[in-house]
Structure 1
């Protein structure tokens, strides 16, 4: 099992785009200090292991979100916070489900955390290279940016067949809803960081940012909150329901009985997830089926929250909410079993969680609209929730609509 603390000088030079959720007050004046890596093959409880690591590095993850009145030091060398990433496979393991098919980006850990220290001034902003060196270190010069053709892991026909398979499972009573996700990869040449930065800057990307390791990087344009802990409350904001960002599209989304029923099913699932978190009080739905915009799509979002009434442990929180209900289905464990059987490749960095853990708050995005770069290829995922009323052709088209802005940003269009 990989569970290590690595000195700062072992890190590649960080990207100019900050990690998702990093506080604006610390951007440009913090530096990576130590890191944690866990792969599904390592075994053990990843939620406990990463919580132990963060607690050992001075973060209040045994009493998350209840230290807002304390004053934390901000001088050079003090802990600012930590970036945290959890893959869909790790989330499934935390929930007691199958890890699923192998990831198409096996070099990226399934759980990755980086502790940041406050610095005395502005830091560098160059991108990590596949060998962990910058151009100045390696003496090489990257060629101009080139992005090749996208190769899907399944065809539209195979995607549609998976939708039909989910509908059959619903008909048997095995599940009520399952989220089905497809993957595609494209070769590239040149420095991927500007392309990943364009993804992070897409309109509506509440959690836009880049997290990088040695030989890999993750960029997200996610608009969806997996879990936030702030000011004494635990919050999740599931998104389910999509239409083109036009006036007719908005009206159609609001009027769709299918989309509303699918959305409410996920709201009920997320309410149940929060209710099982030790340390929280009564769960409420603060906003139901609000319409938000992401690039050129309308999406329906709800806000669910609960007060923190006693100690809230990060490990318990991760086990309760990972992986997110809006990208799994209901019941969650049965949906995870269907997903594992139907999807040809693992979800990799998508459909997991990524964000920031500070001294007095936690804010993790659900990694939808998220891409990965390894040394040779970019990887992207897209999909949607399937119910009995789903039309296979429409579901394939919806996934393509979600992927289109990501691919355009990566290509520089």
Structure 2
């Protein structure tokens, strides 16, 4: 593969590094075997089409709780697993909700899955972060935002008004920014994927180099492992200082917002066929992500019957922590308020293997096409939200991403 230095209009080469949530035992030796794409506007049920593709490649997606060894001895035994990306728009389509504004990166599919094998022993790993020399001609231009600070604050107030009318209880609003770039984005995307606290840090893109996604997401949308389905919603943010920790723990507003989303996630899992009682294993635990404290809970349900991928995606997508409550009403508010589509953000991105599934929420996520870099950030709005404070919180979330893109390490 040629790793060319570029000029304006250069298509990004597939960056090195393990795909998001790939097992560490794979040692980044991934070799793409087959892929599946679905765009908003395509025909067919995306959840069923995706399931058919993955099942046809030997992955146990029609029964995610299966624990036998049949997979390891069948004709697909050379398959390591599959990367999966599902956009927020695809999640809306799966639950029969009309998506909002169009994606600013239409070249990236709304569903993309790659079935991986391993490269041969002793070969150069296809994905290996940091294996290429620094790209000296990478240059990022000025950011263009989807709304001004005043526009963002006005959207927050619109949500507060909707809450006052009883239309919704909480809505997550998200802004978008993009910037032109020159050169090879590989190292910049690698810096994003390596940000501190990036539980799902990784990079995904097609072999033709037409686009790439890098994520530093800390949040689990859904994990299936050892007979349980787990989600880890994050709500509540403060600077990672002693004072910030005290403020987050003492904030009635942040705790109320967080508990509301935990209840939503409990309901999402409870209505999923094939699951037993839902329990909250941990509530409002404080974790650190790249200089920020964030509050996280752990919600789980035992698998008591067959759980298929299509039903699972319909239950959890789009993610409750980036939509709001009630989810359908919140999605309607989002579609009316956000001037630019969510693109690759606020969706699902991760791994499906023979014995587990692990999908992160694609927050703290970057997309590149042939000419521009794209970022998104936002937050959950409740009746007690202060508009300018919410604008500042979104800026704090996107700050580490943009600094990683412009830094030279």
- Structure 1 stretches of 4+ with a deviation exceeding 6 A read 74-77
1:149-184 CA distance string (max 9 Å, x none):
111011111101100110110011000000000000
Deviation at 1:27, TM superposition (A): 3.0
1:95 positional shift = 2.2
Alignment of 1:88-167 (within 5 A): 88-121=88-121, 122-125=123-126, 144-167=137-160
Distance between the aligned counterparts of 1:75 and 1:47, measured in 2?
24
In 2, Cα distance between equivalents of 1:230 and 1:379: 33
Quote the residue 1:382 is aligned against: 377
Which whole-Å CA distance do the structure 2 matches of 1:342 and 1:191 have between them? 34
- Counterparts of 2:69 and 2:388, CA distance in 1: 53
C-alpha distance in structure 2 between counterparts of 1:319 and 1:95, whole Å: 6
Alpha-carbon offset, residue 118 of structure 1? 2.9
Q: Deviations along 1:16-68, whole A, 9 cap, x unmatched? A: 21110111112333310000000011032111110110000100001113226
Distance 1:162 1:187 in 2: 26
Partner of 2:189: 196
Is 1:265 the counterpart of 2:249? The answer is no
Q: Secondary structure at the match of 1:334?
A: helix
Q: Report deviation, 1:69.
A: 5.5
Match of 1:138 in 2: none
Paired with 1:368 and 1:71, the residues of 2 have a C-alpha distance of 32
Matching residue within 336, 339, 361 for 1:341: 336
Query: 1:291, CA displacement in angstroms?
Result: 0.2
1:92 positional shift: 1.2
Q: Distance in 2 between matches of 1:77 and 1:312?
A: 22
Q: TM-score, normalised to structure 1's length? A: 0.91
The CA RMSD over aligned residues, in Å, is 1.9
**Alpha-carbon offset, residue 305 of structure 1:** 0.3
Task: Work out whether residues 71 and 77 of structure 2, in 8 Å CA contact, stay in contact via their aligned partners in 1.
Answer: no
Q: Work out whether 1:399 is the aligned partner of 2:364.
A: no
How far apart, in 2, do the equivalents of 1:124 and 1:109 lie? 26
Contact 2:29–2:126 (CA<8 Å) still a contact in 1?
no
Q: 1:143 to 1:194 in 2, by over 3 A?
A: closer
Report how many aligned residue pairs link the two structures: 389
Answering whether residue 172 of structure 2 is matched by residue 176 of structure 1, we say no
Q: How far apart, in 1, do the equivalents of 2:355 and 2:127 lie?
A: 30
Task: After superposition, give the CA deviation of every residue in 1:109-145 in whole Å (9 maximum; x if it has no partner).
Answer: 0000000123322345479xxxxxxx9xxxxxx8701
**Where does the alignment leave 5 or more consecutive residues of structure 2 unmatched?**
1-11
Specify every segment of 5 or more residues in structure 1 that has no aligned partner in the other structure, as ranges: 1-11, 128-134, 136-141
Is the CA contact (8 Å cut-off) linking 2:65 and 2:306 kept in structure 1?
A: no
TM-score calculated relative to the size of structure 2? 0.92
Q: 1:68 to 1:151 in 2, by over 3 A?
A: farther
Which residues of 2 match residues 10-409 of structure 1 at below 5 A? 14-67=14-67, 72=72, 78-121=78-121, 122-125=123-126, 144-213=137-206, 214=208, 215-409=210-404
Q: Residue 405 of structure 2 aligns with which residue? A: 410
Q: Is the 8 A contact 1:145 1:191 kept in 2?
A: yes
Q: Which residue of 1 aligns with 2:6?
A: none
Output the CA distance in 2 between the equivalents of 1:68 and 1:369. Answer: 36
Aligned residues of 2:244 and 2:293 also touching (Cα < 8 A): yes
Q: CA deviation at 1:353?
A: 0.3
Distance across 1 between alignment mates of 2:196 and 2:80: 27
